[in-house]
A = this chain, B = another copy of it.
Amino acid sequence: GVLRNLRLLMNTGTLAGTGKFVILPVDQGFEHGPARSFAPNPPGYDPGYHPALAVEAGCNGYAAPLGFIEQVAHKYAGELPLILKVNNSDSLGGPDAPCSALTSAVDDALRLGCAGIGYTIYPGSGLRNQMFQDLRDLIREARAVGLPTIVWSYPRGAGLSKEGETAIDVVAYAAQIACQLGAHVVKVKPPSEVVFQEAAKKSYENIPIGTLMQLLREIAAAGQETDRRAGRLHLRRVHRPLQRDHRRGADRRPQLRARVAAEAGRDQRDPERVRGRPGPGQEGALG
């Protein structure tokens, strides 16, 4: 079930067997509107464009909302792991506190041959409880039919400044929350060197956070994902590499390939970093 689909994700594309992910998510049409997302590169209006790109660039999978997945599932199910993003937000307006709407369901993912579902939480939101509880129910429902859950954990809310949303302590906290909620794979934003929470400042005094490498190591230690049988902890990272490229209006396929390759290369140089910080006596890979 879940493990089989996780293995499928991990054994697909250029990074197969490395324990790392580069998943291509395309929900910009929903989140930011079609023109902002696709006008600079009109082929992006076509739902078939993105999974083809994911295959060509050697990604582990492709994540999108229901409409896009329904367009391509008949072609890619079984070939490219598809992740159904089951909640989404738009930028036209919504509830007072950040909270995406549920837009599809586990049985849609099952019907469309997906390898998992995706869900976004906004730790820090006044609607936190609703999101966490919906996620709780979705994870259990998805597990029951063999689907892992990928969580996008983006802190956002009245108590967080724009800078705070990507502060190292807040991003690490977001990874921790998603892992404790039972996420199988977690995506966080690249953290800055800022420490936002007053109460956390002392804790970070002796942690070197001067480089991205070190930042990611810290995140990897905080965010842990469960493989009950293998007893390993991983922080999976889900990239969204094409978003900015699309906005610039160019076809950046070579760049995506390059990024995947770079990720593969880094893994060989620094295996511990991408595998998280395993506890004592917890060695061995998941795949």
Contact = CB atoms under 8 A, between A and B. Distances in A.
A285 interface: no
Contacts of A182: 66-67, 70, 103-104, 108
A33, A91, A200, A204 pick with most chain B CB within 10 angstroms: A33
Contacts of A75: 231
Interface string A14-45: 00000000000001011011111011101101
Interface residues of A, number: 96
Contacts of A181: 65-67, 103-104
A192 interface: no
Given A39-B203, A73-B228, A104-B181, 7 more contacts: A34-B222, A66-B182, A70-B226, A93-B124, A94-B128, A95-B128, A102-B136
Interface of A: 27, 29-30, 32-36, 38-40, 42-43, 45-49, 65-68, 70-71, 73-75, 88, 90-96, 99-105, 107-108, 123-129, 131-133, 136, 140, 155, 157-160, 169-170, 172-177, 179-183, 197, 199-200, 203-204, 206-207, 218, 221-222, 224, 226, 228-229, 231, 233, 277-282
